[in-house]
Amino acid sequence: MERKGIVTEHGNPVTLIGSALKTGDKAPDFAVLDGNLKEIGLKDFTGKTKVISVTPSLDTPVCDLQATRFNEEAQKLPDDVVVLNISMDLPFAISRFCTMKGIDKVKGFSDHREASFGISYGVLIKELRLLARSIFIIDKDDRIKYIEIVPDITHHPDYDKAIEVVKQLIT
């Protein structure tokens, strides 16, 4: 399914591939890769609250700041909350980025192989084969509690709102 009019890149309209998810939906599974090329999915985080920070590419300033900010926020969260960063970057580049930046609380994953996450969550950009900047917060029962798809992928998400939602889920 293709969706237009939701996201731009520097003001230029792009097409999202995949179904539009809504809060309350059961979170779809996905298959992404970690830095060792091990396949990881939603099921690997069963029983945890999941914050999924989606970035187009960690090699850009906004994505860098997004991963860094969520790493800082993750330090303050309990162990039953996991923060994932998913991008189309290669697994090796994600590992290198996290090591160089000291990102140790956010788990970085690559959707490069199959675009499984991008299609399942409706954030794969057809024209760029990148993921639209977005945030998904999923509760312990795998229900989507918060979605933000940033209107222009060059802009920041609402970090404070996302963290507020997480705090409401864990209190």
Q: Which residues are catalytic?
A: 63
DSSP-derived secondary structure for the chain: -EEEEEEEETTEEEEEESPPP-TTSBPPP--EE-TT--EE-GGGGTTSEEEEEE-S-TTSHHHHHHHHHHHHHHTTS-TTEEEEEEESS-HHHHHHHHHHHT--SEEEEE-TTT-HHHHHTT-EETTTTEEPPEEEEE-TTSBEEEEEE-SBTTS---HHHHHHHHHHHH-
Q: How far is CA 39 from the centre of its chain?
A: 16
Q: Which residues of 114-144 are buried (b: 16+ CB within 10 A; e: fewer)?
A: ebbbbbbbbbbbeeeebbbbbbbbbbeebeb
